[in-house]
């Protein structure tokens, strides 16, 4: 590969489709979970320190993590299908 080719390849690598100009960095990080919150393999859901279902972040997981790459906050996701 010639220097000319390398320069062209380098220049092409900098090209971005029009739509990418609208990308936004994460606004805020995903919220951490309180101490004691863990997944219960018995109940097959997340529970609090007291062992009861912990569901308060069903909202947070879908709304506070947008743009930070946490796919739980997205309507579309990487699908193994």
Partner 1 sequence: MPDQTAVMVMTTESDTTADLVVEELNERSVPVFRFDTAHFPTDVTLTAQLEDGWRGSVRFGEREIELARAGSAYYRRPSEFVMQGSMSGAARRFAAAQSRAGLLGVLVSLDCLWVNHPGRNGDASYKPWQLTVAEQVGLRPPRTLITNGPEAARRFVKEIDGPVIYKTLAGGVVDDDGVPKGMPTSIVDPDGLDDSIALCAHQFQEWVDKHHEVRLTVVGDEFFAAEIHAGNDAAHVDWRNDYAALTYEIVDVPDDVRRGVVELMCRFGLVFGALDFVVTPAGEWRFLEINPNGQWGWIQTVTGLPISTALAGLLQGGSTT
- Which stretches of the chain bind partner 1, using CB under 8 A? 15-26, 39, 41, 43-46, 53-55, 57-59, 61-64, 66-69, 71-81
**What is the secondary structure of 29-70 as a DSSP string?**
PPPPPPTT-EEETTTTEEE-TTSSB--THHHHHHHS-TTTT-
Nearer to partner 1, 11 or 19 (CB): 19
Residue 27 sits at the vertex; the CA angle it makes with 71 and 47, to the nearest 5 degrees, is 50
The tokens for 26 are 């994460």
Least CB distance to partner 1 at residue 9 (A) = 15
Least CB distance to partner 1 at residue 27 (A) = 9
Nearer to partner 1, 1 or 59 (CB): 59
């Amino acid at each position: 590969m010639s220097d000319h080719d390398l320069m062209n390849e380098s220049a092409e690598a900098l090209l971005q489709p029009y739509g990418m100009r609208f990308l936004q960095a994460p606004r805020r990080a995903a919220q951490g979970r309180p101490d004691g919150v863990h997944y219960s393999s018995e109940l097959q859901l997340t529970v609090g320190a007291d062992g009861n279902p912990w569901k308060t972040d069903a909202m947070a997981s879908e709304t506070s993590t947008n743009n930070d790459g946490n796919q739980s906050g997205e309507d579309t996701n990487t699908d193994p299908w």
